[in-house]
Amino acid sequence: VQLQASGGGLVQTGGSLRLSCEASGRTFSYASMGWFRQAPGKEREFVSVIRWSGGSTYYADSVKGRFTISRDNAKNTVYLQMNSLKPEDTAVYYCAAGRSRYALSALSSLGSYNDWGQGTQVTVSS
C-alpha cells in the first residue's frame, strides 16, 4: 500500500491543523492506521491509531483531548485533527498502515506497522 500524508504547515501556539493520509493499493489487507511523529534529535513516537473497521481509536497521553483521529473508508483516508497546538508538537508527522489486529493499546510501537508514508512537517511557533 502507498501512503500519502499532507496538511502540515506553520501555525502559532493554540492553533489548529488537519493532517490527511490517503492510502492506495491493497488497503483491505490493513486493520489499522496510525500517526507517529519525530522531532529533531528525538525518536519517532506514537500519536494515535484508528481501526478501519469500526473506527475505534487510541491516543498517546500527550495529545489526548487535543487531537482527534478519524477515517473516511470511502476515500481510504485517515485524518488527524490537531487543536490547541503547542511548540512541543513540532515534528515531522508520519502515517502508517498495519495488519495487526492486536488491541489498539498494543499498537503504539513502530514494529506494529507494515507501511509508512513520507511524512509532513508541522511547526508550532511560540
Q: What is the pLDDT along the chain (126 residues), one digit of tens a residue?
A: 899 999 999 999 999 999 999 999 877 789 999 999 999 999 999 999 999 998 999 999 999 999 999 999 999 999 999 999 999 999 999 999 999 888 998 999 999 999 999 999 999 999
CA distance 22 to 15: 23
| pLDDT score at 26 | 78
Residue with cell 506553520: 10
Phi, then psi, of 15 in degrees rounded to 5? -80, -175
| pLDDT score at 80 | 98
The secondary structure of residue 75, as a DSSP letter, is G
The set of cell numbers assigned to 59 is 491516543
Q: Are 93 and 120 in contact (CB under 8 A)?
A: yes
Bridge partners of residue 18, in order along the sequence: 81
* Pairing of the two strands 120-125 and 9-12: parallel
CA distance 104 to 62: 17
Phi, then psi, of 109 in degrees rounded to 5? -100, 150
| pLDDT score at 110 | 94
| pLDDT score at 29 | 82
| pLDDT score at 68 | 98
CA distance 124 to 126: 7
